[in-house]
Amino acid sequence: MKCPKCNSTQTVKNGHRKDRQCYKCKQCGRQFLEFYRPWQYSQKVKLQCLDLYLEGMEVRAIERLTNIHHTTILGWIRQVGLETLNRSKLKNY
């Protein structure tokens, strides 16, 4: 196993995180995973959260209902808002 920071091969196992093996570099002390997977929610879940928000539900209430962190939901709201804003600007030109 090679350290992604210093490329040293002097690494040791260092516990587990969500059923994945963690490692620690003896040279630089960096902790890392053997491989990283992207954490993504489906488009259906995103649209459900956005619909709830548009219906007037507060972001924290959506968080309690869906178990998706409120900052993630706020990011989706901002993303959709920016996309809508950019489309409307394009129509004006």
15-60 pLDDT, tens digit per residue, is 998 788 999 999 999 999 987 777 789 999 999 999 999 999 999 9
Are residues 47 and 88 both part of a single domain? yes
Are residues 27 and 48 both part of a single domain? no
Domain count, the chain: 2
pLDDT of residue 40: 86
Are residues 47 and 76 both part of a single domain? yes
Q: pLDDT confidence of 90, banded at 50, 70, 90?
A: low
Q: pLDDT confidence of 86, banded at 50, 70, 90?
A: low
Q: Which residues of 33-48 are buried (b: 16+ CB within 10 A; e: fewer)?
A: eeeeeeeeeeeeebeb
Q: Annotate the chain with DSSP letters as a single string.
A: ---TTT--S-EEEEEEETTEEEEEETTT--EEES--------HHHHHHHHHHHHTT--HHHHHHHH---HHHHHHHHHHHHHHHHHHHHHHH-
pLDDT of residue 93: 46
Q: Is 80 helix (H, G, I), strand (E, B) or coil?
A: helix
Are residues 29 and 51 both part of a single domain? no
Distance from chain centroid for Cα 40: 6
d(CA 9, CA 23): 11
pLDDT of residue 11: 95
- Tell me what the pLDDT averaged over the chain comes to: 87
Are residues 53 and 81 both part of a single domain? yes
Domain, as residue range, for 49: 43-92
pLDDT of residue 25: 95
User: Quick check: 88 pLDDT over 80?
Assistant: no
